[in-house]
Structure 1
Amino acid sequence: MTILKAGKFSPLDPAAAEPFYRQIYNRVRNAIARGSLKPGDRIPSARALTKELGLARGTIETAYSLLAAEGYIQAKGQAGTIVTPGLKLQAPVPSPIRQVDTSLAATSFRPDTILPFQMGLPALDMFPRKIWARLGARCVRAMQPSAMVHPAIYGLPPLRAEIAAYLQVSRGIDCSPSQIFLTSGYRHTIELIGHALLKAGDRVWVEDPGYPPTREILRHMNTTTVPIPVDRDGMMVSDGIRLAPRARAAVVTPAHQSPLCVSLTLPRRMALLDWATRNNAWIVEDDYDGEYRYVSRPLPALKSLDRDGRVLYAGTFSKVLFPSLRLAYLVVPPSQVERFEEISQVLAAGNPELTQTIVTAFITEGHFARHIQRMRKLYAERREATKAGLEGVLGKYVRIDSSPGGMHLILRLQGQRSDRRLVTRMRKDGLYAEALTDWISGEQTASALLLNFTNIDSQRTAENFGKRILTLM
């Protein structure tokens, strides 16, 4: 570990009550106890530490002798001194759990794990890792010094061109590469839009229920979010006009509303576009899983209906490839390209060029389109299997919504069961879920679980997890 390597051992305290050999002993022992030094790790030699600390070699050897006598370290001759292999230590006492402000909990509610039913994850077990590894190795071998400088602020030009071509074919969006800005994810996208087009005090329509981080990000940017109810036809635009007719923007998920999975109907799409045009307002279209519709072909994007340049289209590779890419994109109207370039010059650092190069190759060689087609078929199968498995076990206690697309199921809890309480119990049992009430800004009358199905491989697996949920209800 670096804190104990030669040249990295911080000076000892000459004013301390403990002698130098004891200070060295305590540092090494505490590093082992904390896990900073693990069994088999090498520690600095007595000679190296003598030179670095300017102490007598006997002082170092006294500390090491004491550590060896207690079984912490072993001398291996020319191989040096190491932490004793197989050393068993008592687990350290955990630090007290810091109380988290529940008002901010929604911004960090996605763990960096793979848990059953975990929201926001594609089918990671079916990602073509061999193809990705082959493309990655090829891109690394071909890397030139010109690719090792600072990355392009707006995004790698070939990737911007590929995204523009893909959106034209798959989502009906007519745009040029210059309109596309690469970001590090949805949150970065919203921040970029906020800095470019919004100011403190602006009012913004958000869906209710809706994605919690959207509200939190906008709130931290000192804008006022206006929750607009959602029904089976999507955001109720008439309610938005009634509640905040002069709002500066609206954030919507028209393909599969997040989290209810309903689609914004054509009349409401036209009403939303008309409102934005008449009021010189902006529409942010979050199309996070628009590719995954199972009852028919994916719906055209709202952006494809935009004739007045009022819609900003936000997409991401997190759901179609994998989240750790940290790669998303934003399509802005032609009139706003210069403004977003100015803001990007100030705020954006650019995304890793190697990652963008691999994604470009993945798209160019046809792997991206084939992967989406395979996932669309796979998700349709896994959705039905998961739904059947859970209904077979929990049918008396839940009602599962029917939806045309998306990547999760909505389990409506029957009776007076609390979704938040059940979610807490599930997470303690190693199962993931999100409570619908955490996605609602207004009166919390609904009680439902949001369960992702993309990583549930069979009906039997769903049944087994359903039995665990049943014991927690």
Structure 2
Amino acid sequence: MTTRRRRPALPLQLDLAPSQAGPLRRLDASLHGRVREALRDAILAGRLPPGQRLPSSRGLAEDLGCARGTILLAIEQLVAEGYLTTRPGSGTRVAETLPDDLSVPRSPASRTAPSPATPVLSRRGAALASTCGEESDEPIPDAFALGRPARDAFPFETWARLLQAEWRAGPPAQIHPLGDPRLRRALAAYLSAGRGVACSEEAVIVTASIRQSLRLLAELLLEPGEAAYLEEPGFPGLGHALRSAGLRTVPVPCDAAGFSIARARNLEPGARLAVVTPAQGHPLGATMSLENRLALLAWAEARDGWIVEDDYDGEYRYAGRPLSPLHALDRAGRVLYVGSVSKVLMPALQMSYLVLPETLVAPVRRALTGGGGLASIIGQGALARFIAEGHFSAHLRRTRRLYGQRQAALVAAARDLLGDRMEVPPRDGGMHLVARPVAGTRFDDGRAVEACARAGLATTALSPHFSDRSLAEQGLLLGYASVPERAIVPAVRRMAEALRGMDDAGPR
């Protein structure tokens, strides 16, 4: 007689009722989102302790009365966020170390535990810890956060179906350090047809982030101590990636025509690497002129140099078609093209890509094969199907229209509610706007960010994006892609009140 194994019982009841939070709170009305939030809340409250094994996805689906694909998508997001772990033969378990800073002890014994020692960081560690980035381990509201796509526009049911098909097929027989071949093939087809980046699947590498791609390239192409050009202002994380690879960074002030290699060479003639964002410079949105593009390509060929083109949100252009990348003009194989899937779809994917010139494919392949892969294999197969079946292109078209509408709504609301203290002009593309203080007014963007945070708004200061503080400009960066149109006016009104309260408090 065969005894049927009982699945592990879930030691709690999950509350899957939709949240009643206001429009400025992060909402997730989808069923898989409510499953994820309920499991996450149970983990943080200690009802699911570290190491606790979860029932099978099929068993959870039966217990909760929903589709197995819904459970799989919720579990995949929690794995990507660090709350759950999966290992062959061990099932899905609660992670031993959670990403959140738990201020409430989860057991009586933990109340008497000694306080951890304050770490003494190296100079490099202190610099990394002070990075002004666009990502945070702390949960923050989506209102005006940078780099957050629209969760309400993502086709979760389609994604769940594709993910379920991948899980049903089982894990790939071989782990490819360069990425799932199906995904590399799908990305090559999309980039060639949709972005004008002619490439083969062999030239496409799947990575975890743009910064990891940049560090890998810096270590492969340059010697420690060599110089690399960066745009000024720019995303601070790129500079940290280069310096962590041992390079000297040379910030090059940019104007309305974008990065100028002539200006860069006047500052440091010996550099052999330039990291640029030609489509729309971060954070001010300048587009590199054709003259500057051609001059940069000529410099790279003559200097035996390299250009890293960061096309972080080049797909989002609201006036005409998206601009062709610098890569499309490259005839000498000097442009290394990097892009992000996470910023287009959802941050939990933690997936970017790198397109290499033919001459670099073999060296990068050997480096990655010897050092291990850079991106998690989870979700790569589903993403390959998502792109190949046309869902990715359809999502881009849908969100391009949606983000254009949300930008217009933010500009109008800022004009009506913030016009006496901040100017928020529209932009031709991107996923954020720059709010600048009205001329003649005193403004401290660091204090403004703190005031907005107390009001539940995730704004970002402009001034830390300048490495030369004597050139730093004051302002706020307002991400609008993730903010539903109905929430924009209340959010801007709340911002106006927060800034007014900062004025009433006076200078510190």
How do 1:159-308 residues align onto structure 2 when only pairs under 5 Å count? 159-308=183-332
Shift of 1:166: 0.7
Tell me if 1:439 matches 2:465: yes
Conserved 8 A contact 1:317-1:327: yes
Aligned residue for 1:72? none
Amino acid at match of 1:290: G
Shift of 1:241: 1.8
In structure 1, the residue corresponding to 2:345 is in which secondary structure?
A: coil
Conserved 8 A contact 2:229-2:271: yes
In structure 2, the residue corresponding to 1:138 is in which secondary structure?
A: helix
CA RMSD of aligned residues (A): 2.7
Conserved 8 A contact 1:153-1:344: yes
Structure 2 distance, partners of 1:41, 1:320, is 34
Structure 2 distance, partners of 1:368, 1:109, is 24
Amino acid at match of 1:463: V
Structure 2 distance, partners of 1:396, 1:244, is 42
Q: Show structure 1 runs of 5+ residues with no match.
A: 1-34, 43-86
Aligned residue for 1:410? 434
Aligned residue for 1:334? 358
Moved more, 409-418 or 307-316: 409-418
Structure 2 distance, partners of 1:182, 1:429, is 38
Structure 2 distance, partners of 1:187, 1:219, is 11
Shift of 1:96: 9.2
Aligned residue for 1:110? 135
Structure 2 distance, partners of 1:40, 1:178, is 43
Shift of 1:103: 6.3
Of the three residues 465, 475, 490, the one matched with 1:461 is: 490
Structure 2 distance, partners of 1:184, 1:416, is 41
Structure 2 distance, partners of 1:466, 1:256, is 26
How do 1:47-196 residues align onto structure 2 when only pairs under 5 Å count? 101=126, 104-106=129-131, 110-112=135-137, 113-115=139-141, 116-143=143-170, 147=172, 149=174, 151-196=175-220
Tell me if 1:428 matches 2:457: no
Conserved 8 A contact 1:422-1:472: no
TM-score, normalised relative to structure 2: 0.72
Structure 2 distance, partners of 1:444, 1:187, is 25
Moved more, 228-237 or 92-101: 92-101
Amino acid at match of 2:144: F
Tell me if 1:451 matches 2:478: yes
Structure 2 distance, partners of 1:310, 1:405, is 26
Conserved 8 A contact 1:389-1:466: no
Shift of 1:97: 11
Aligned residue for 1:6? none
Tell me if 1:471 matches 2:497: no
Structure 1 distance, partners of 2:501, 2:356, is 47
Shift of 1:464: 3.1
Amino acid at match of 1:444: L
Structure 2 distance, partners of 1:41, 1:252, is 46
Structure 1 distance, partners of 2:320, 2:252, is 28
Conserved 8 A contact 2:179-2:206: yes
When the two structures are aligned, how many residues end up with a matched partner?
Answer: 392
Runs of 4+ in 1 over 6 A off after TM superposition: 39-42, 91-100
Structure 2 distance, partners of 1:40, 1:184, is 29
Shift of 1:346: 2.5
How do 1:282-431 residues align onto structure 2 when only pairs under 5 Å count? 282-414=306-438, 415-431=441-457
In structure 2, the residue corresponding to 1:466 is in which secondary structure?
A: helix
Conserved 8 A contact 1:123-1:455: yes
In structure 2, the residue corresponding to 1:455 is in which secondary structure?
A: coil
Q: Among all aligned residue pairs of Structure 1 and Structure 2, give the percentage whose two residues are the same amino acid.
A: 36
In structure 2, the residue corresponding to 1:353 is in which secondary structure?
A: coil
Structure 2 distance, partners of 1:349, 1:323, is 19
Structure 2 distance, partners of 1:129, 1:197, is 40
Structure 1 distance, partners of 2:489, 2:115, is 39
Structure 2 distance, partners of 1:266, 1:273, is 11
Shift of 1:114: 4.6
Amino acid at match of 1:431: L
Conserved 8 A contact 2:209-2:351: yes
Shift of 1:212: 0.2
Q: State the Cα deviation string for residues 425-461 of structure 1 (Å, max 9, x = none).
A: 2223321111111000122341010110112212433
Shift of 1:466: 3.2
Conserved 8 A contact 2:466-2:472: no
Structure 1 distance, partners of 2:48, 2:351, is 38
Conserved 8 A contact 1:140-1:354: no
Conserved 8 A contact 2:208-2:350: yes
Shift of 1:261: 1.1
Moved more, 171-180 or 281-290: 171-180
Conserved 8 A contact 2:178-2:373: no
In structure 1, the residue corresponding to 2:435 is in which secondary structure?
A: strand
Shift of 1:248: 1.4
Q: State the Cα deviation string for residues 7-29 of structure 1 (Å, max 9, x = none).
A: xxxxxxxxxxxxxxxxxxxxxxx
Aligned residue for 1:18? none
Structure 1 distance, partners of 2:371, 2:454, is 39
Q: Show structure 2 runs of 5+ residues with no match.
A: 1-42, 51-105, 503-508
- Structure 1 pair 359/40, CA: closer, same or farther in 2 (3 Å)? closer
Q: State the Cα deviation string for residues 155-203 of structure 1 (Å, max 9, x = none).
A: 1111111111111111111111111111011121112111211210110
Structure 2 distance, partners of 1:223, 1:446, is 26
Aligned residue for 2:103? none
Shift of 1:311: 0.3
In structure 2, the residue corresponding to 1:174 is in which secondary structure?
A: coil
Shift of 1:391: 2.0
Amino acid at match of 2:377: E
TM-score, normalised relative to structure 1: 0.77
Larger gyration radius, structure 1 or structure 2: 1
Structure 2 distance, partners of 1:367, 1:257, is 28
In structure 1, the residue corresponding to 2:489 is in which secondary structure?
A: helix
Q: State the Cα deviation string for residues 334-376 of structure 1 (Å, max 9, x = none).
A: 0111111121122332533341100001011111010000000
